[in-house]
Amino acid sequence: MNPELADSPFLRACRRQPVPRTPVWFMRQAGRSLPEYRAVRGGVPMLTACATPDLIVEITMQPVRRYGVDAAIFFSDIVVPLKAIGIDLDIKPGVGPVIADPIRDAAAVRTLRPIEPDDVSYVTEAVRALTGELGPTPLIGFAGAPFTLASYLIEGGPSKNHDHTKAMMYGEPHLWHALMDRLTEITLGFLRIQAAAGASALQLFDSWVGAVAPDDYREFVLPYTGRIFAGLADLGVPRIHFGVGTGELLGLLGEAGADVVGVDWRVPLDEAARRVGPGKALQGNLDPATLLAPWEVVERRAGDILARGAEAEGHVFNLGHGVLPGTDPDQLARLTDFVHRASVR
């Protein structure tokens, strides 16, 4: 690895090493809030964009150029590996992923086969091109975690309460475990493909797992997220684990094996550090809606997050969830500068 990259503030903070200043990037930093994103996406469907290396590279680079963030996140979506193994799905504008035939029985579970590098050669090609363009700036590869993927597959699309998902988890545990087992192999395979191509950190998005109680997390989810993080250990790249509404699960998210635990805006970072315990860095956690308020509010709240984040063994500044589409990019530019200036050691 390029020594400047290995020594970048983002990778150092993930490893809980001292940093010259707090690194910052934003979940969903590429995408809807950027005029340059809307310009290149034009009439191109989301899943087509995710399979087109030139577009992936351009969209991934846009926020790095505009904001000078400390890491890039690979432009893709959590359903891309499912599409790549032949699941009939689409990403509908204004809705999100929609599955043609929701997975609710054993025969449907058996259609989920492991992913091979040839299924996603466009990902390998784009990661390689990006690591060249990014130079010393790290590229974060990512995947959806089994619970969050299972929710889309079982419900057939976005869901508020995950009713069918929980009905399967509680009522048909054998089927649930068979589904989670297959999704675990796909997710692990997809993350390893990105790392092999040159991604220097990996984030597992279990966005909707906050819907699950801690005892249920331990029984129905942790065996799988644990297998994913264990299956990445030999790569030596930082592993980040993120979910929304996970205040009661923060300790378990760390226990699953991540190096960095992502925190949404509901738990202050000093309290999150206590819940996660020693040996982990934290990532987060400005409420994305804060960016819709005047700059003075953003500055005060970001300053508070930096102070509390200093209680953790390592801190990567981020939002508590993705950038909202209506966010003014100038706010994110100011926030990036503020984090860099206010955190100089």
Give the active site residues: 28, 32, 41, 77, 152
Which x/- pattern over 263-302 shows residues binding ligand 1CP (rule: CB under 6 A)?
Answer: ----------------------------------------
Q: Tokens 């690979």 sit at which residue?
A: 74
Stretch that binds ligand 1CP, among 75-83, 166-174, 269-277, 331-339 (CB under 6 A): 75-83
By the rule CB under 6 A, 90 interacts with ligand 1CP: no
By the rule CB under 6 A, 127 interacts with ligand 1CP: no
By the rule CB under 6 A, 246 interacts with ligand 1CP: no
Closest to ligand 1CP by CB, 75 vs 147, is: 75
Phi first, then psi: what are they for 143, rounded to 5°? -155, 160
Closest to ligand 1CP by CB, 16 vs 179, is: 179
28 labelled binding-site residue: yes
Least Cα distance to 6 among 131, 136, 195 occurs for 136
CB < 8 Å & 24+ apart, contacts of 255-263: 255/222, 255/226, 256/222, 256/225, 256/226, 256/228, 256/229, 257/225, 257/226, 257/228, 257/229, 257/230, 257/233, 258/204, 258/229, 259/14, 259/15, 260/14, 260/314, 260/316, 262/203, 262/318, 263/320
Stretch that binds ligand 1CP, among 25-33, 105-113, 275-283, 327-335 (CB under 6 A): 25-33
By the rule CB under 6 A, 205 interacts with ligand 1CP: yes
CB neighbour class for 86 (10 Å; exposed up to 12, middle 13-18, buried from 19): exposed
**Out of 5, 14, 47, 78, the residue judged to bind ligand 1CP by CB under 6 A:** 78
30 labelled binding-site residue: yes
Which x/- pattern over 140-179 shows residues binding ligand 1CP (rule: CB under 6 A)?
Answer: --x-----x---------x---------------------
Alpha-carbon gap, residue 25 to 278, rounded angstroms? 23
By the rule CB under 6 A, 93 interacts with ligand 1CP: yes
By the rule CB under 6 A, 27 interacts with ligand 1CP: yes
Q: Tokens 């290995």 sit at which residue?
A: 6
Extended beta strands in the chain, E state: 72-73, 89-92, 96-99, 139-144, 201-205, 239-242, 260-262, 281-286, 315-319
Length of the chain: 345
Closest to ligand 1CP by CB, 16 vs 103, is: 103
State the binding site for substrate. Answer: 28-32, 77, 152, 207, 321
The residues binding ligand 1CP (CB under 6 A) are 27-32, 46, 73, 75, 77-78, 91, 93, 96-97, 142, 148, 158, 205, 207, 322
State the binding site. Answer: 28-32, 77, 152, 207, 321
